[in-house]
Copies of this chain bind each other. A is one copy, B any other.
Amino acid sequence: MLHILFLFSLLFFSSHASVQDFCVANLKGPDTPAGFTCKSPAKVTVNDFVFSGLGIAGNTTNIIKAAVTPAFVGQFPGLNGLGISAARLDLAPAGVVPMHTHPGASELLFVLHGKILAGFISSANDVYVKKLKKGDIMVFPQGLLHFQVNAGGSTAIAVVSFSSANPGLQIVDFALFANNLPSPLVEKTTFLDDAEVKKLKAVLGGTG
C-alpha cells in the first residue's frame, strides 16, 4: 500500500516548485510593484517566518523621546506578498511620534504598557483623538495624518501592525525640513514663516 501511495503522492509533489503558498523576499533580487522576487522554496526555513527584533526596546534618548522599530519586508523578508507587517513603538515620558502618514497601509495600534494619546485627521479635516490605555487598540485608516503621544508618567510601549508588507512612513517634519526642499518653496506651500522653516531645517538637518 505504501508503494501505491507513493505514486499518488508523486502526483502532488511533482508540482512542488511552483506550488508556493508564500514568497519569502530575496532582498538582493529585483523588487516589483507587488513585492520582491521569491527566495528559492528549497532554501526557506522557519527562521524566514520569525523575527525577534521587536522584543528589544528602542533607544528613546533622542529629540522625540521615542523610537519606532520596524518589522517591514526589508527587515523581515517572510512578510513579502502577505499584506501585513508590524513595528514597535517606545515612547519615553513626554515622547512623541510626530504627525505622519503611511502612504500604502492602514495601521492598527495595540497598547502594551502605559498610556498613549493617539489621533488622526480625516480628509474632511475632522479630528479623531483618544487617550488609550493598556490593552486598547485603535485603527488609523490608510494614508491619513496621525500621531501618538505618551499620555502618562512612565514609558509607553505599543505594537502596531499594517495592512501591507511595506507600508512606508512619511513624517511631515522630515518631509518638509530634513532635506534640500528650498525654504521659499516650503513656506509657499505651507504658509509657515521663514524663521520657523529655517529653525526646523537647522534642527532636522535640512538645507536650502
Residues of A whose CB lies within 8 Å of any CB of B are 1-2, 4-9, 11-13, 15-23, 26-27, 29-38, 41, 45-47, 49-52, 54-56, 58-59, 61-64, 67-76, 78-86, 96-99, 101-104, 106-108, 110, 112, 117, 119-130, 132-145, 147, 149, 159, 161-163, 166, 168-176, 178-181, 185, 188-193, 196, 200, 203-205
Q: List 7 A-B contacts (CB under 8 A).
A: A5-B204, A18-B74, A21-B123, A45-B128, A50-B136, A84-B163, A101-B101
Q: A47-B130, A103-B21, A196-B192 are in contact. Are A121 and B83 (CB under 8 A)?
A: no
On whether the beta carbons of B166 and A121 are closer than 8 Å, the reply is: no
Q: How many copies does the complex hold?
A: 6
B-side contacts of A112, CB under 8 Å: 112
Distance of A10 Cα from B89 Cα, bound (Å): 16
Most buried by B among A21, A62, A72, A133: A21
